[in-house]
Amino acid sequence: MVRMEQPAETMSDEKPINKPLEYEGAEDIFEGKFSDIPFESPITPTQLGLDDEFQFNCHPGISCFNECCRNIDIQLLPYDIIRLKNRMETTSYDFVARYTLPFQMDQHGMPGLKLMTKPGTRECVFLGDECCTVYEDRPTACRYYALGSMGVRKKDSATVEDMYFVVKEPHCKGHDEPRTQTVREYRKEQGVDKYDVMNREWRDIILKKRSSGPTVGAPSGRSLQLYDMCSYDMDKFREFIQSSGFTEIFDTDAIGMDRLLEDEEALLSFAMRFLKQVLYGEMTIPQREGAREERLEKRRARIHERREMEAEEEHVSSQAYDMPDEGDAESKKN
């Protein structure tokens, strides 16, 4: 199973769609990405809308049952992490450490996570003897399969539109089953809607970064750390918004801190707002009056204090350097 739910463009280790999509303005985004299309691409070239039908059925009696979970390459999205870490009754930090592998989503080192496989295989770590052991909380990519989706933003447009297509891999016999449904019906049956809503803001952030190109430049190390925390570590983000570094700046009453601490989905949504504020200057989180000036003043005071300490240390070490040693003192006596 390859991950076929993604923002705007294919990942470097995945196979691209095998013909340019007919989509007004899309060529501006996709330019050059479809010129070397492999014939073995598992994606059918037909673009589907929500009410288009496709033929597919998957059920426990099918001969290929679980085959798709034995060769995975699945990127995890922020809401996937929340669902799975709660399923495993652990923290987001522990879940990420035990069940995921990091990778870089772009040349600027934007951190991504993939679902871990069992040692020495490409089999999903959650595949049990008979079936998926986390089925009710399976990731977005598992819910979509055998559909793929792609969010596309037309050049100079703020709107992101969804496209769908069928992913046909040779091992999957579900395409031969005599059952048709619309994309909308399939999404509902697989519980995709909730996942898409929860991951949408995150996808928009990635999409915005990709489409902004080199003019925006690489995010700072600090921005990447914040991105990592906001995307994949809700427990740490919960602690972060309770720290003095946050509460001294932001208006915690106005942002409804109590609700954020209780409701993880609201917290994820807030984390995305915070990320947009940090990365793109979209100022939607109210700050305390005078907080910025106060912070600058504190920073100046800290810098001043540090400089004074450094000057003091320099003074002491130069005295030590000038100090005559015992031999000098003796020779002066003589």
Token pair recorded at residue 292? 């910025």
Rounded to the nearest 10 degrees, the angle between the axes of helix 264-280 and helix 192-212 is 10
Residue range at the interface with ligand SF4 (CB under 6 A); choices 156-164, 169-177, 198-206, 301-309? 169-177
Strands (E), 204-333: none
Residue (139 or 151) nearer to ligand SF4, CB: 139
How many residues interact with ligand SF4 (rule CB under 6 A)?
Answer: 24
Burial 85-96 (b: 16+ CB within 10 A, else e): bebbebebeebb
Question: Is 76 near ligand SF4 (CB under 6 A)?
Answer: no
**Looking at 105, 127, 229, 272, which residue binds ligand SF4 (CB under 6 A)?**
127
Question: Is 206 near ligand SF4 (CB under 6 A)?
Answer: no
**Looking at 171, 179, 306, 307, which residue binds ligand SF4 (CB under 6 A)?**
171
Strands (E), 46-186: 53-55, 75-76, 100-104, 111-115, 147-153, 160-166, 180-182
Q: Between β-strands 180-182 and 160-166, what pairing exists: parallel, antiparallel or unpaired?
A: unpaired
From CA 164, how far away is CA 176, in angstroms rounded? Answer: 19
Q: How far is the CB of 220 from ligand SF4 (least distance, A)?
A: 34
**Looking at 69, 192, 229, 271, which residue binds ligand SF4 (CB under 6 A)?**
69
Question: Is 237 near ligand SF4 (CB under 6 A)?
Answer: no
**Looking at 26, 76, 152, 172, which residue binds ligand SF4 (CB under 6 A)?**
172
Element (H, E) at 6: strand 5-7
**Looking at 21, 29, 37, 64, which residue binds ligand SF4 (CB under 6 A)?**
64
Question: Is 88 near ligand SF4 (CB under 6 A)?
Answer: no
Strands (E), 11-99: 53-55, 75-76
From CA 269, how far away is CA 199, in angstroms rounded? Answer: 9
Residue range at the interface with ligand SF4 (CB under 6 A); choices 95-103, 166-174, 272-280, 305-313? 166-174
Question: Is 62 near ligand SF4 (CB under 6 A)?
Answer: yes
Token pair recorded at residue 193? 């809607």
**Looking at 173, 210, 238, 295, which residue binds ligand SF4 (CB under 6 A)?**
173
Alpha helices (runs of H) in 74-155, residue ranges in sequence order: 78-87, 92-99, 140-144
Question: Is 124 near ligand SF4 (CB under 6 A)?
Answer: yes
**Integer CA distances (angstroms), 123 to 29, 31, 37, in order:** 34, 35, 27
**Measured on CA atoms in the order 88, 92, 94, 95, is the torsion positive or negative?**
positive
**Looking at 58, 163, 285, 291, which residue binds ligand SF4 (CB under 6 A)?**
58
Token pair recorded at residue 52? 């288009």
Amino acid at 132: C
DSSP 172: -
Residue (132 or 249) nearer to ligand SF4, CB: 132
Question: Is 174 near ligand SF4 (CB under 6 A)?
Answer: yes
Question: Is 134 near ligand SF4 (CB under 6 A)?
Answer: yes
Token pair recorded at residue 118? 């069992």
Question: Is 116 near ligand SF4 (CB under 6 A)?
Answer: no
Residue (19 or 173) nearer to ligand SF4, CB: 173
Q: How far is the CB of 133 from ligand SF4 (least distance, A)?
A: 7
Residue (133 or 182) nearer to ligand SF4, CB: 133
Which chain residues interact with ligand SF4 by CB under 6 A? Answer: 1, 58, 62, 64-69, 72, 124, 126-127, 132, 134, 138-139, 142, 145-146, 171-174
